[in-house]
Amino acid sequence: MMRFVELIEKKKHAGKLSRQELAYFINGYVAGEIPDYQASALLMAIWLNGMDPEETYELTVAMAASGDQIDLSAIPGRKVDKHSTGGVADTTTLIVAPLVAACGGKVAKMSGRGLGHTGGTLDKLESIPGFRVDIGMNEFVDIVKKCGLSVIGQTGSLVPADKKLYALRDVTGTIDNLSLIASSIMSKKLAAGADAVVLDVKTGSGAFMRDVKDAEALARAMVDIGKRSGRRTVALVTDMSQPLGRAVGNAMEVKEAVEILKGERAGDLLDVSLALAARMVCMAKPEIECEQAEKEVRSALSSGKGLERLACMIEAQRGNPKVLENEGLLPKAAQTVTVKAKTDGFISCIDTREIGICALLLGAGRQKKTDTIDPAVGIWMEKRLGDPVKTGEPLAVFHVNNTGGLEEAKMRFLSAVKTAPGKPRIPALIYREVT
């Protein structure tokens, strides 16, 4: 019989935990048989001494097995999923999933809500009048069969180990460990049942991993887990040194995604979305070359077929598809406030996380799970890195309902967006691909 204190001692001295020991830890903690104080001690030992790739994989598998494991076998073809490590104005799912579906891929995606500066994918979708994310599994499968895609909320019984462990890590200073981050993300991907996964690992001022090397290390750890589990996994390390899109706020981000799918708007959000979609199509259709997948994705965009797939999903999930023709049906803020530049120059630096906090102050995000998001409010970025700007010229437009946090948001925004006399070096949008 195992004694949990022996596992703590072993990892404290940089020992390697076995599959059986990690399963004992996860199963015992989820069942309430291992108390928080002992689990905290092991997490700190892991944080201090690390885990090798095999340990990280076995921890991930044990976590994935702690709850429901979704069976997508009723959906024909290869099912491909996508995950972003999060950022600001990162609306890629609403663009990528319809484009992949239009190319014949099957995207059965379970997403979460935002907790932090901005809303998550579910919050964005729920700004569409009537749209439901609480869909049962049978209906979920039927919608994917019909439309090629569906995005719903994670079931309460999907990877309960991650929910418990993340809450404990949050209060014990053990969030920022590569193995614990990788297992948290990939356990949900394994349990969600897709055949292949494309990961978008962010780096920069608006990302969890601010350093490119750290982001690449996380990407490699997650790709290794995918490979060991028999799932094709690819990661792109992408830039979050500025908001990815122009819109920061739920209904506003839906509007921008729709404009991109209509071919009315270009920019970084479109470019990253095309790169992710091409890799998903290449994995969903292994019989074609990746160059052909890129052509198919661009054709799905220019032909409007991606927009048709989004309309199909919206209608199937009780939303009003007319929002794609009439954006006035989306929630709209009562007033707009323009934030203007104080000096001439070029936009030299954007603290992206601060921009997210500004949107949070306007009501576009939640600090606690019980907070209510206002889907109408947010920020439209008028300027991007390297853009020239004159004193008095608009930097952004705030969409506002409750003015309680407006002044602080304006002050923080002006501190977050810096100008300089010369044009800065613009960081790469996609740093590298990890396969």
Q: Are strands 149-153 and 107-111 parallel, antiparallel or unpaired?
A: parallel
d(CA 107, CA 147): 9
Question: What are the pLDDT digits (tens) for 126-170?
Answer: 999 999 999 999 999 999 999 999 999 987 789 999 999 999 998
42 with 16, same domain: the answer is: yes
CATH number for the domain that contains residue 384: 3.90.1170.30
Residue among 84, 179, 183, 184 flagged as catalytic? 184
- The answer to whether position 306 is within a domain reads yes
User: CA 247 → CA 244, 307, 372, distances in Å?
Assistant: 9, 19, 20
d(CA 242, CA 191): 32
Q: Are 370 and 353 in contact (CB under 8 A)?
A: no
Question: What are the pLDDT digits (tens) for 216-237?
Answer: 999 999 999 999 999 999 999 9
270 with 393, same domain: the answer is: no
Q: Are 51 and 153 in contact (CB under 8 A)?
A: no
- Tell me the pLDDT of the chain averaged across its residues: 95
Backbone angles phi, psi at 60, to 5 degrees: -60, -45
Residue among 79, 83, 232, 285 flagged as catalytic? 83
119 with 217, same domain: the answer is: yes
Helices and strands (H and E) in the chain: how many: 16, 13
Reported confidence tier of residue 116, pLDDT bands at 50, 70, 90: low
- The answer to whether position 231 is within a domain reads yes
Reported confidence tier of residue 2, pLDDT bands at 50, 70, 90: confident
Residue among 162, 214, 351, 374 flagged as catalytic? 162
344 with 274, same domain: the answer is: no
d(CA 124, CA 256): 11
Question: What are the pLDDT digits (tens) for 377-397?
Answer: 999 999 999 999 999 999 999
228 with 106, same domain: the answer is: yes
Is 19 designated active site?
Answer: no
CATH number for the domain that contains residue 195: 3.40.1030.10
Is 117 designated active site?
Answer: no
Is 13 designated active site?
Answer: no
300 with 367, same domain: the answer is: no
CATH number for the domain that contains residue 32: 1.20.970.10
d(CA 89, CA 379): 10
Residue among 82, 117, 124, 188 flagged as catalytic? 188
d(CA 376, CA 251): 6
pLDDT at res. 155: 79
Q: 276 CB contacts (<8 Å, ≥6 apart)?
A: 82, 92, 96, 198, 200, 236
What is the distance, to the nearest Å, from the Cα of residue 353 to the centroid of all Cα atoms in its chain?
15
d(CA 249, CA 123): 10
Supply the Cα-derived Rg of the chain in whole angstroms.
22
Reported confidence tier of residue 70, pLDDT bands at 50, 70, 90: very high
Residue 327 pLDDT more than 70? Answer: yes
Residue among 11, 117, 169, 231 flagged as catalytic? 169
277 with 369, same domain: the answer is: no
Residue 117 pLDDT more than 90? Answer: no
Last residue of a domain, one of 295, 324, 353: 324
* Domain tally, the chain: 3
pLDDT at res. 370: 74
- The answer to whether position 70 is within a domain reads no
307 with 364, same domain: the answer is: no
pLDDT at res. 342: 96
136 with 225, same domain: the answer is: yes
d(CA 402, CA 349): 28
pLDDT at res. 201: 97
pLDDT at res. 111: 87
Residue 118 pLDDT more than 80? Answer: no
Q: Are 148 and 140 in contact (CB under 8 A)?
A: no
Which residue range(s) make up the domain with 363? 331-420
Question: What are the pLDDT digits (tens) for 401-412?
Answer: 999 999 999 999
Residue 115 pLDDT more than 60? Answer: no
Is 200 designated active site?
Answer: no
Amino acid at 419: T
96 with 145, same domain: the answer is: yes
Q: How many CB atoms lie within 10 A of CB 235?
A: 26
- The answer to whether position 431 is within a domain reads no
Tokens of 288: 């074609």
241 with 315, same domain: the answer is: yes
Is 184 designated active site?
Answer: yes
Which 3 state secondary structure label does DSSP give 359? helix
Q: At what angle do helices 352-362 and 406-416 cross, to 10 degrees?
A: 170
124 with 195, same domain: the answer is: yes
Last residue of a domain, one of 324, 345, 362: 324
Last residue of a domain, one of 286, 304, 324: 324
